[in-house]
A and B are shown apart, each in its own frame.
Chain A
Amino acid sequence: MSSDTLAKVPAASGTPQPADAPRIVPQRRYGQWAAAVVVLALLGLAVNSVLRNRAFQWDVVADYFTSDSILRGLWLTLWLTAVVMVLGFALGTLLAAFRLSANPVLRAVGWGYVWLFRSIPILVQLLLWFNIGALYPQVLGVKTVDLLSPVAVAIVGLTLHEAAYAAEVVRGGILSVDRGQIEAAQALGLSPWRRWWRIVLPQAMRAIVPPAGNMLIGTLKGTSIVSVIAVNDLLFSAQLIYHRTYQVIPLLMVATLWYAVVTSLLGIGQYYVEKRYARGTETTR
């Protein structure tokens, strides 16, 4: 919140006022002060209850926070997120190109993919891939069960899901670029590849980065769903420990805090990426 919303007196202006000009008295904003006090009081009560509730067992949280199995789970969560994001956006960009293609068959296929994979809940999809052996017991003479480990199932399922959303994000970004830009590039004789990499994509990135940042954070936390197919991610590692020790809440706190830490770091990263793609947008002379 900007500080001047609570300020009673506006900053003194540089221009000298004529002596007989009436003084301006800003409105007193008592309602704003009252709201601030009430909200701060409620916040204080909440923080107090968390810190003083022994059941959180913050000492147990501290013990496990950097334990080996938690860190191994965190590592899997991180690389799984990275792989899913990269593959998902690669496939999504291809699908966006399909949806924007002049070819009606490609357009229909792109639309159909997005429709299908946005329609299936990710949990259902993971369970389907996990049990794909029931549909196709063998692929090219290899047992499907051996081919698709739980981690492979997680990558395939999450990527296909991610790609449907990424396709729409990328498509929206491309549509946000002024049609005249492509025309200008064509008039200059730039090749299709060059038009795409040098002209369209960098401008589309401005519209792509914020929702992509959202998706990255969503995917990071969304990977916790793979715990249902026994993939050793951050959440599953915490669950393995509390199934043994019954310290449910402290271990969920460990996972929660790690998710929050990584999410915060990603938010900082997004700020710099956005700044990078905002080049040329400031209009000051």
Chain B
Amino acid sequence: MSVMVDIRSVHKSFGSLEVLRGIDLQVRAGEVTVVLGPSGSGKSTLLRTINHLEKVDRGEISVDGALMGYRRAGDKLHELPEREVLRQRTRIGFVFQNFGLFPHLTVLENIVEAPVSALKRPRKAVEERAHRLLERVGLGDKAGAYPRQLSGGQQQRVAIARALALEPKLLLFDEPTSALDPELVGEVLDVIRDLAAQGTTMIVVTHEIAFAREVADTVVFMADGRIVEQGPPDEVLGAPREERTRGFLAKVL
């Protein structure tokens, strides 16, 4: 299968703190990659570099064959104008830990906003699609509600529908269930599981080990800005080779 995301020797520092210390990772189209690791291991930062919400200091990231955020000219990478970066981002869905819904817009307006204003799609068609997406995440009756009238789990499902409305080639989830009450985690994971079953390419940063075991094609374990080990869930979660991985799993399981 073709490579959807190609990350090559990516480095990133915040001031003197080196958060990513040379990351290489390939994600094939149609696969689910789950990134695990302790807090501060750089997994969220890695996810954010993929859609260029964070700029990398060194290395390069391609999504579906296109270099993210830069244009290659000889041996130099020229930063793309913001307009181009924004267009690249519309092909990548991003789901935030804190949902990132716009509180002053209704659920429908939240979903319709980007396809209409960024992709210039006709509003009517987008609205019809938005209603279908809401049905799909089990919120068909909430189109007119404001985000604060919904539970956390419902808000996150709207956020997923909003990301899907752009018909992205790739979905990125940044700890999608970490801000939820325990009893609401399941409904969000159900939606993600459903997307995985349909062959959506996804990278999911999470702490839900059981979910990783069940849904992931590849599990990536990160610590201190490096990928410690990666492979099928049976191997990484079932029989980890590295001491760091064993230590982490012993703590969270």
Contact = CB atoms under 8 A, between A and B. Distances in A.
A10 B1 CA distance: 72
Given A187-B94, A192-B82, 4 more contacts: A181-B102, A189-B87, A190-B113, A280-B148
B178 interface: no
B114 A180 contact: no
Interface string B30-55: 00000000000000000000010100
Contacts of B83: 191
A189 B114 contact: yes
A186 interface: yes
Nearest to A184: B100
Interface of A: 180-181, 183-192, 194, 198-199, 202-203, 277, 279-285
The 3 A-B residue pairs with the shortest CB-CB distance, nearest first, are: A184-B100, A280-B146, A189-B90
The interface size bin for chain B is 20 to 34
B25 interface: no
Most buried by A among B90, B102, B146: B102
A45 B167 CA distance: 73
16 contacts: A184-B100, A186-B53, A186-B89, A187-B51, A188-B166, A189-B90, A190-B113, A190-B117, A202-B104, A203-B103, A279-B104, A280-B148, A282-B149, A283-B148, A284-B149, A285-B149
B100 A180 contact: yes
A184 B86 contact: no
B90 A279 contact: no
A6 to B, nearest CB: 35
Interface string B78-106: 00001100110110101010101111111
Contacts of B12: none
B86 A280 contact: no
Interface string B97-137: 01011111110000001100111000000000000000000
